[in-house]
Structure 1
């Protein structure tokens, strides 16, 4: 196996993933939040509860910037802060009811777009994609 060629394919693949993700999520955010705030909410939705430092790391943002954005989201009643009972200095972030509603609406739109993208694929193609995603998750995108 030519590992350099595999790497080049991987770079091409991840670029394509970003492009498709951009198309699927384009114009999803509402007017009351910025695109950065939307990305933070999206991260919280799929990983909650999360710590501010986890958000900072995932978003490639400084902690002061992350804290500022979380404060704005808290003021808009889109997130809740939960204090760890064992370590009172540690906080977790999760979506509030309003945040859940907003992200459920956003994900419904994204799912509709995704369904349109795959609507003409055969069951065999869908099964192959499902297997490929599973392999990538287990072997490359280990969480």
Structure 2
């Protein structure tokens, strides 16, 4: 079974998470500088069997797109051009950053470690992917 990869796209950094081959567990993979993201994905897709990519869709509480939605929409269009055969799905990413930060607190990370924005991005992508796996089972 192919893996599912989740992307928490950001202007500076992008968090990436991936499932195992059985699509049971979501794990943080890495955080990539956003300008290097397409090269990273090209290399990763060449090495791993990925069947679907989830891209976070930022929304406000009233379900309207957030300010960063246009930037992410641009990325999605470029992604579709670069990887036309890859299935892409958008997923609501509201609260993933807050949940990621709370996860860091609950894990006992020190304040200095919790300030690592790269780690927050990676955990956010993992939460996005784990939520997808839970919804898929329902």
Task: Provide TM-score, normalisation by structure 1.
Answer: 0.28
Task: Provide TM-score, normalisation by structure 2.
Answer: 0.29
Considering Cα pairs closer than 8 Å and 6+ residues apart, tell me whether 1 or 2 has the greater RCO. Answer: 2
Which structure features the higher share of helix residues? Answer: 1
Which structure features the higher share of strand residues? Answer: 2
